[in-house]
Amino acid sequence: MPILGVNIDHVATIRQARYREMPDSPNAEPDPVQAALLAEQAGAGGITAHLREDRRHILDRDIVRLRDKIATKLNLEMGVSEEIVRIALDVLPDDVCLVPENRREVTTEGGLDCAGQRESLRPIIARLRGRGIRVSLFIDPDEKQIVAAADLRAEFVELHTGAYANASGCFQASELARLHAGAARAVALGLRVNAGHGLNYQNTAPVLKLAGLEELNIGHSIVSRAVTVGLAQAVREMCEILSRG
């Protein structure tokens, strides 16, 4: 059964909506680290957080505290800026997922073009792996990107499920077929497979049959559900979907 990685970015988004200009306020809430601990207690197999260059939600100290407090594993989503790479090398998360980053986007809009950025990515991946950090590349389920990920010696690919999640009818079936083909190709090339983006309580189950799938990273839907039923219950409900799959 794939494990559930709970992305806590949007817990920090709520905090920053009120306390962005007062990051050290004792009243700053909710605490994403406390949310991570609750998610673990409810069955999450890992915690994911994206440290963006503009610090729009997760802050540096959140990453440091997560590394110190959580009992499962820390998956740090990050762009490829030198500043963030240095933080990763200092904090030493269990996993790093390299993602494209555009300051104008609301959330990550597409997969990383690792085929077109091989020469810039290669030394970054080598540095991270040299410190014992597992490296994943967040990519669309396209042949050239999967082949490039294998060439770059990433251990994982995280297949971008956004196109599938946002489609409907025959278009969604087509996108699901692309994910299946991409996962099978990744496994054939010796890559380990994760997936995520846009997954919710209605569309997750079909993704569970992807070849080699080890982890689903889900955030927004769980935090949204938590508004009405609480975070622990929201995580338990998603874990139940994974267990049935």
Active site residue 160: no
Owner of token pair 């049959």: 209
Catalytic residue among 10, 50, 57, 160: 50
Active site residue 50: yes
CB 74 within 8 Å of CB 49: yes
Contacts for 125 with CB less than 8 Å, ≥ 6 apart: 98, 135, 152, 153, 154
Q: Give the torsion through C-alpha atoms of 128, 74, 53, 22, to 10 deg.
A: -140
Catalytic residue among 10, 57, 77, 215: 77
Catalytic residue among 10, 57, 160, 197: 197
How many residues in total does the chain contain? 245
For the chain, where are the E strands, in sequence order?
Answer: 3-7, 46-50, 74-78, 95-98, 134-139, 156-160, 192-196, 213-218
Return the active site residues: 50, 77, 197
